Amino acid sequence: MKQTAKRWLGLLCWMLLASMPAAHAQLSIEITGAGANRIPVAVAPFAGEAALGEGIAAVVRADLERSGLFRLLEVPQQSPALTEAAAVNYAEWRARLADALVLGSVSARTDGRFEARFRLYDVVKNQTLGGIAYTLSREQARATAHRIADFVYEKLIGEKGVFSTRIAYVVKRSATRYELQIADADGLNELNVLTSNEPIISPTWSPEGRRLAYVSFEAKKPVVYVHSLTDGKRYAVAHFRGSNSAPAWAPDGKVLAVVLSVDGGSQIYFINADGSGPRRRLAASSAIDTEPRFSPDGQWLYFTSDRGGSPQVYRMPVAGGEPQRMTFEGSYNVTPRLSPDGKILAYVTRNAGRFQVALLDLGNRQLQIITDSEQDESPSFAPNGRMILLATVLGGRGVLAAVSADGRIRQRLPYSGGDVREPAWGPFID
């Protein structure tokens, strides 16, 4: 009963948020079960951070909070402001029930840029866990804050943080306006990559995170493009007679698996990502074969096929060989996505007419359905494997949400208008 009430409250919050512009968006996170066991962390306002506009500490706090693994303690403004330069009174922070503390400062440099410094303290063990100094421009304040949050996350959780990674997705503004965008992992700092009068689907990040492959319908049919983000250069990498779709990058970034109908049906081919050379057919079947995805080690190709009568997930060796069926429960299992360690298969399953995200442990074959909406699509693992980004529908509009791989932490990304779909979480960037 309590759970149900909480869920409804969560839904209500989401709907309220959906009607607000991004600037006023608040954190929307729901934690169930043992996820409530969060590490208490204090992030003090950085001394002098007002010079950077929104500052640093607020972004670090929001990042950590959104992960669902930390409980952020209130830290009132103090005068003089706390900085990483002064000695820390550990006993005082222990009394405030903090396990960890972040202190920092921002100062202006003579060249017009800024210096941001921080230090992370283990309050329980009375010791520092390290710190970094960054040189940044005003525009790099958010990026710097994400890096600091990544540092804190890695030190306290023991795995890499993903706050400084990016996501890509498509916004449908109207029947004749589509935007391919990228944003920070928190959904803010949106940048337009491509605007078109025709649909765009299936964006996917190159392994180095500087290019996107996607399907555009601007030629009145699906054509696969590769698009370089920094210079905006793009080229049609698969533009054969018929339909061209479902691009997937090989881990080396040099080859794409695509689905072509040029030789009949929907079949999987390999092509060079630079557009050179001939297309190579993976295998020939009389069924639909689509949605290819390479395993992280590049050895397997996972794909959706209806060769058994209903769409199911299969895999076959990239070098060629017999396909193996991977999904058995249900009559509609599509959109395979591998976790970064290759151990978990995420896919979309139809469950009594509802489309939900399922996770299959490839080791012990344990199956878990981690979403409970009507139309959950396009699951995409964070590069550390902890969260899964997905598209869902709320109040008739497409929005992005993220769910932890254990299903306990759910969050909705800020909504800035339009119908949002086709999310893809980008790789770690150095």
Partner 1 sequence: MRAILIALLAATGLAAALSGCGSGPQSQTPAAVEDRKPGADGGRPVDTLKVKPVDVTGGPAGTALGALKDPANILSRRSIFYDFDKFDVKEEYRGLVEAHARYLRENPAARMLIQGNTDERGSREYNVSLGQRRSDGVKKMLLLLGARENQVETVSLGEEKPQDPGHGEAAWAKNRRSDLLYSGEY
Which residues of the shown chain bind partner 1 in the complex (CB under 8 A)? 175, 199, 201-202, 215, 217, 220-222, 241-243, 245-246, 259, 261, 264-266, 288, 290-291, 304, 311, 332, 334-335, 348, 350, 355, 375, 377-378, 396, 421-422
Residue 365: both structure tokens together: 């074959």
- Amino acid identity of residue 42, one-letter, is A
**Cβ 241 to partner 1 shortest distance, Å:** 6
Residue 120: both structure tokens together: 């992370």
d(CA 128, CA 120): 6
**Cβ 348 to partner 1 shortest distance, Å:** 6
Nearer to partner 1, 192 or 310 (CB): 310
**Cβ 397 to partner 1 shortest distance, Å:** 12
Which residues, listed in sequence order, are joined to residue 394 by a DSSP beta bridge?
397
Nearer to partner 1, 83 or 304 (CB): 304
Nearer to partner 1, 101 or 215 (CB): 215
Nearer to partner 1, 144 or 304 (CB): 304
**Cβ 252 to partner 1 shortest distance, Å:** 23
**Cβ 425 to partner 1 shortest distance, Å:** 17
With H, G, I as helix, E, B as strand and everything else as coil, classify residue 43.
strand
d(CA 164, CA 151): 10
Nearer to partner 1, 222 or 383 (CB): 222
Nearer to partner 1, 155 or 279 (CB): 279
d(CA 314, CA 325): 4
Residue 407: both structure tokens together: 């299903």
Nearer to partner 1, 67 or 266 (CB): 266
**Cβ 239 to partner 1 shortest distance, Å:** 11
d(CA 384, CA 297): 15
Nearer to partner 1, 14 or 303 (CB): 303
**Cβ 217 to partner 1 shortest distance, Å:** 6
Residue 77: both structure tokens together: 């403004």
Which residues, listed in sequence order, are joined to residue 43 by a DSSP beta bridge?
102
Half-sphere exposure (CA, 13 Å, Cβ side) for 59?
Answer: 27
d(CA 250, CA 207): 8
**Cβ 101 to partner 1 shortest distance, Å:** 46
As a 3-state breakdown, the chain gives helix, strand, coil percent values, each rounded to 5, of: 15, 45, 40
Which residues, listed in sequence order, are joined to residue 124 by a DSSP beta bridge?
none
Residue that is written with structure tokens 């503390």 in the block = 101
d(CA 408, CA 325): 29
